[in-house]
A and B are shown apart, each in its own frame.
Chain A
Amino acid sequence: MNRLPLLPRTIRTALPALPTLLALVSSFLLFMLFLGVQGKPSWEACRLVFEGAFGSVFAWENTLQRAAPLMLTALCVALPAHAGLIIIGGEGALVLGALAAAVLPRIVPGLAPLPMLLGMGCVSMLAGGLWIGINGWMRQKRGLNETIGSLLLSYIAIALFNQLVEGPLRDPASLNKPSTPPLAEDYLIGPLSESFQVHWGLVAGVLACVLAHVLVRYSVTGFSLRIVGGNVRTARMVGLPVDRLVLLTCVLGGACAGLAGMFEVSAVQGSANAALIAGYGVSGILVAFAARHNPPGIIVCAILLGGIEASGSLLQRRLGLPDATTLILEGLLFTNLLAWEALWGRIGRWRLYLGERYERRYAMEAQHG
């Protein structure tokens, strides 16, 4: 048994992170260049990005709070992606999940807080799961392109949401901001602790990512999913229930987005209204692709994106830079990630090469020894 020495072994394990690291470095260099060309203090801006995102306890609160819903909406993209689907309609699942959670206390009033919150979580996941599930079903049974389908269904979901919130479900007291009736104080989810102002959606997000990782990496279902995603003909040939697996990922993904909606209602807004349609579903797509649909990677990428958004706020206030600066940094980061992705094939070869080189050396040493 040959074990690699420590240094090459570390290099070998760390190699997959190389594209991400290079993307970080190159996008920040480009960002500084971009600011420098316009005569803005580029070094100061980078320092503020760090300070605003991770520089203090408050900055961490700010970052994690913004990251929490993105973890859940990113799973709505990543889970179906493992079965080879590109679903981009998480926004629709989120708003319907939010609406379901907001109306539950009206349908079954008077429950104790804990059962009510669990109930709200369940109905929101049901609503979200159903909505993305329709996508999976239409693709498998009707041959409809799931990307276009999910995008259009998302528009329909938002229209439905607006129609209900501004019509039959509207609280008559919400004069200029149509909303459902506010949740009772008992049904609101508070922060993790008074000294750490991040709501429980973060815990749900991390937990969902961990569970998703276990599912796709360590379960038989996950293994089957990889075959379905890799080559659907092979999957059918070996007798895998392709339709059921595809549907399962869609329902689970949609349930995650729906749950994000429930937290937006019970931990942030206190009712369902149009402020929920804030683009979390869209940012989730970005996060999922940047993380290459890998659930632990989603946690990291969501925190990164949350951090950039948090620091964008500081950049505006300190340097008077327009809000679009944040978008430029985000854009640079994600295009660079995709560009460095091209290294991926080579990294596989490097890893093999590292292994082979040492094997040869050991073999030679064994001969001479």
Chain B
Amino acid sequence: MSTLDRRDFLKLTGLIGLSAALPLSLARAADKPLAVGFIYVGPRDDFGYNQAHAQAAAIIKSLPNVRVIEEENVPETVAVQKTMEAMIRQDGVGLIFPTSFGYFDPHVIRVAKRFPEVRFAHCGGLWQEGVHPGNAGSFFGYIDEGQYLNGVVAGYASKSKKLGFIAAKPVAQVLRNINAFTLGARSVAPDITTTVIFTGDWSLPVKEAEAANSLIDQGCDVLTCHVDGPKVIVETAEKRGVMSCGYHASQAALAPKGYLTGAEWNWETPYRAHVEAAQKGAPMNNFLRGGLKDGFVKTSSYGPLVSDEARARADAIKAQMIAGKLDIFIGPIKDNRGNVVIAAGTAHAQTDVVLEGMNYLVEGVRGQI
């Protein structure tokens, strides 16, 4: 004899069915890990721009309740749009870090408009309120602080008083680094010059090696750069017996003798901020910037050729920067053609957007835009 009649059976099944919609399942949803996508424009192990991002992504991978999906060598074409869409559709990501500058306009903007529930935290772009979608945003770091410190250390180490800088393109961000490096060096010895060579693109290893050799032949004894992968430059400098300062990530392993220090990204800070906001459901922080003080950039530890005097001076300047008491671009500053570009009495704080439109090389830089 069954004690369960049809009415009871319906009640029971209804109850079980309904329970699926109850907060029990909400609790499980909260446990569901946040899928985070990282897209790199070059290889993850380039000892440079992409490696700096991949290193921070590895830290994000170790956070609780986060699943990381990565893709490298994604060009700034329709390929990146399809990769973002694939990450959303095939891997269910809720937050994407498209890490190359050129991804932003139009690719990130276009995909972000189509997927308003996904967050797009782009590195380098200039997100603007009202112009760009609210589920997209940009973050960046004031790495010229690191380049200024590179300059200070290089200024002490150089004997020929000639420094070499290998740069990709004469765009604002690159010019700002060349200028900061030169100002740092000239704060130590005002007769120092920086010779700059533009290679024309972000990743041209053969041209970078040629430029490094040419600069060394011209008598430069410390090299630094702003290209995607400083590997070849640092290796060439080490082989030719001159010193080098790193960029993007640490290249110390490539030049155990001549590596002085380096300006490195610390993307872990903005990454963590975006991941936490996404996990909590907090509103997206669309515009995120920071320097040494905020932990967005860091410096490599000093190499064996850095004198105690140089260490003391660089550490003191770094402490001032971290305390927010030192600006790099303080007038009067002349460009290398003799025009005053920052008038006496004007000091641009790091956050000043005027600096993001820099279009000159300061006095002491040999080269032209």
Contacts and interface: CB of A to CB of B under 8 A. Distances in A.
Contacts of B72: 316, 322-323
B77 interface: yes
A313 interface: yes
A66 B82 contact: yes
Interface in A273-291: 273-276, 278-279
A248 to B, nearest CB: 31
A16 B201 CA distance: 44
A274 B202 CA distance: 10
A166 interface: yes
B171 interface: yes
Contacts of A276: 77
B79 A275 contact: no
A274 B124 CA distance: 17
B70 interface: yes
Interface in B108-122: none
A65 B77 CA distance: 11
B171 A177 contact: yes
Contacts of B43: 322-323
A270 B124 contact: no
B49 to A, nearest CB: 13
Contacts of A314: 86, 90
Contact of B172 (A175, A197, A275, A322): A175
A205 B200 CA distance: 32
A323 B102 CA distance: 20
B357 interface: yes
Interface in B152-173: 169-173
B86 A317 contact: yes
A82 B126 CA distance: 49
B43 to A, nearest CB: 7
Contacts of B171: 175-178
B124 A176 contact: yes
B70 A58 contact: no
B87 A162 contact: no
B305 interface: no
A146 interface: no
Contacts of A278: 75-77, 79
A290 to B, nearest CB: 20
A91 interface: no
A309 B106 contact: no
A316 B40 CA distance: 12
Nearest to A267: B78
B238 interface: no
Contacts of B124: 176
B75 A66 contact: no
Interface in A176-233: 176-178, 182, 197, 199
B77 A275 contact: yes
A72 to B, nearest CB: 14
B106 A176 contact: no
B112 to A, nearest CB: 14
A178 B173 CA distance: 12
B89 A317 contact: no
A124 interface: no
Given A175-B357, A268-B78, A316 B71 contact: yes
Contacts of A58: 85-86, 89-90
Given A58-B85, A309-B79, A274 B90 contact: no
Given A175-B356, A176-B124, A316-B72, A66 B78 contact: yes
B82 to A, nearest CB: 5
B79 A317 contact: no
Given A66-B82, A177-B102, A313-B82, A268 B77 contact: yes
A208 to B, nearest CB: 18
Contacts of A316: 70-72
Nearest to B171: A176
Nearest to B114: A197
A247 interface: no
B106 A269 contact: yes
B336 interface: no
Given A58-B85, A317-B69, A176 B172 contact: yes
B91 interface: yes
Contact of B87 (A177, A197, A268, A317): A317
A182 B109 CA distance: 14
Nearest to B91: A317
Nearest to A326: B73
Contact of A313 (B78, B86, B173): B86
Interface in B68-104: 69-79, 81-83, 85-87, 89-91, 101-102
Given A176-B124, A275-B76, A275-B102, A317 B169 contact: no
Nearest to B71: A316
A166 B169 contact: yes
A62 interface: yes
Interface string B188-208: 000000000000110000000
A264 B77 contact: yes
Contact of B101 (A176, A197, A199, A313): A176
A120 to B, nearest CB: 17
A308 interface: no
Contact of B82 (A62, A166, A320): A62
Contact of A162 (B71, B77, B200): B200
A310 interface: yes
Contacts of B70: 316-317, 320
A61 B87 CA distance: 14
Contacts of A310: 82, 86
Nearest to B124: A176
Interface string B235-253: 0000000000000000000
Contacts of A313: 71, 74, 79, 82-83, 86
Nearest to B356: A175
A264 B81 CA distance: 13
A295 to B, nearest CB: 23
Nearest to A199: B78
A20 B292 CA distance: 58
B86 A65 contact: no
4 nearest interchain CB pairs? A275-B76, A323-B73, A175-B172, A62-B82
Interface of B: 37, 43, 69-79, 81-83, 85-87, 89-91, 101-102, 105-106, 124, 126, 169-173, 200-201, 356-357
6 contacts: A65-B78, A66-B82, A176-B172, A177-B171, A269-B77, A317-B71
